[in-house]
């Protein structure tokens, strides 16, 4: 870990959790679900992973509470549609938190009898993206 950061996720199907844990392992930092077990304080970077279609109220409440004392920068990665992120980005910007504009969107391939899943290649691509974000803020 180059500096203080966390990876947080909101994942009903488990895809975003899988990606968040991979980023956490690669960056040697903890990953936790939203809302986290412990409050976020004094982070230089916060990765937030979401499975989007619509934004859950827990996520909205969590993001509305983020201020520069809690985190300086937020980078989003999503499985699904990234369009609902605009509302979250606007909230963060109004709160004075820098939002990394490069959002990583990970496709989910639908299975025949089950909910879709992210591929190992997609997880690796997201981990590589996260590494670039970390390097850009170092």
d(CA 55, CA 81): 11
Using alpha carbons, select from 78, 80, 39, 86 the residue that is nearest to residue 60: 86
User: What are 9-51's pLDDT values in tens digits?
Assistant: 998 888 899 999 999 999 999 999 999 988 899 999 999 999 8
Helix (H, G, I), strand (E, B) or coil at 76: strand
CATH of the domain at 127: 3.40.50.360
User: What are 60-103's pLDDT values in tens digits?
Assistant: 999 999 999 999 999 999 987 777 889 999 999 999 999 999 99
How many distinct structural domains can be found in the chain? 1
Using alpha carbons, select from 137, 125, 128, 136 the residue that is nearest to residue 27: 128
- Cα Rg of the chain, angstroms: 14
d(CA 58, CA 62): 6
d(CA 110, CA 99): 30
Q: Which domain holds residue 47?
A: 5-137
pTM confidence score: 0.92
Q: What is the predicted pLDDT for the residue at 92? A: 97
């Amino acid at each position: 870990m180059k500096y203080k950061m966390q990876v947080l996720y909101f994942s009903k199907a488990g895809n975003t959790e899988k990606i968040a844990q991979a980023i956490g392992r690669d960056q040697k930092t903890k990953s936790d679900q939203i809302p986290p077990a412990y409050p976020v304080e004094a982070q230089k970077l916060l990765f937030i992973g979401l499975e989007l279609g619509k934004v859950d109220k827990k996520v909205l409440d969590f993001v509305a509470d983020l201020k520069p004392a809690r985190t300086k920068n937020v980078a989003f990665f999503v499985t699904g549609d990234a369009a609902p992120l605009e509302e979250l980005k606007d909230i963060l910007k109004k709160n004075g938190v820098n939002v990394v504009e490069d959002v990583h969107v990970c496709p989910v391939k639908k299975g025949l009898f089950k909910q879709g899943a992210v591929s190992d290649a997609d997880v690796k691509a997201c981990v590589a993206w996260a590494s670039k974000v970390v390097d850009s803020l170092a």
